[in-house]
Chain A
Amino acid sequence: DTAVSQTPKYLVTQMGNDKSIKCEQNLGHDTMYWYKQDSKKFLKIMFSYNNKELIINETVPNRFSPKSPDKAHLNLHINSLELGDSAVYFCASSQALGGVYEQYFGPGTRLTVT
């Protein structure tokens, strides 16, 4: 059973388009995240939701809008895509255990903007 799944795996689109990435976790975790991994493999958090409530909102262009319809789902909508948005986007989930949040990542969505 897949713990954290994302769709699509690959997304190729043109500048100016709007696209969405979907994420689902079946681990029963309360917290979900979106990360961006750039071409140098640096992983940076973008957003986090806890029980459908936004708790982390990093300095990200407001063209990026997360939405969590329930605690098992976290989607990412991107408006007016730009070349610099090309990256791999990872969804993750975690549950606090003794103050430690061990994160479970999805397989990633490789976004290419042309």
Chain B
Amino acid sequence: TQLLEQSPQFLSIQEGENLTVYCNSSSVFSSLQWYRQEPGEGPVLLVTVVTGGEVKKLKRLTFQFGDARKDSSLHITAAQPGDTGLYLCAGPHGSGNTGKLIFGQGTTLQVKP
């Protein structure tokens, strides 16, 4: 069974701090996606990583796909209150040809001003 485990589950930090969220699995994924969900809204795709070792940057957010494609991390530099939300990693189930995604349980981030 493919599982994605995220850590930490909850993170409360002050504005300006740095943080890293991890998404780990014992299974190999052909790609991994990161979504952010704000209260009362649906998840919004932030990035997709497809190549082992790949690093992608989105302003202050840096995403990395593990070399073995079993894990990914999201690093936020100088967090701001606008970064507050639920961060979800997701990967394709099985061969991935149905579009079915497996989601991690999420990391709730609160950035205090």
Q: Which range holds the interface residue count of chain B? A: 20 to 34
Given A40-B105, A43-B103: A99 touches B42 (CB 8 Å cut-off): no
Of the 9-residue stretches A13-21, A60-68, A69-77, A101-109, which lies at the interface with chain B?
A101-109
Smallest distance from the beta carbon of A101 to chain B beta carbons, Å? 4
- Pair count A-B, CB < 8 A: 72
A contacts with B, residue count (CB < 8 A): 28
Q: Judge whether A101 and B92 touch: CB under 8 Å.
A: yes
Q: Which residues of B contact A107 (CB under 8 A)?
A: 40-42
With A105-B42, A106-B42 known as contacts, the answer to whether A99 contacts B106 (CB < 8 A) is no
Residues of B within 8 A of A (CB): 30-31, 33, 35, 37, 40-45, 48, 50, 86, 88, 90, 92, 96-101, 103, 105-106, 108
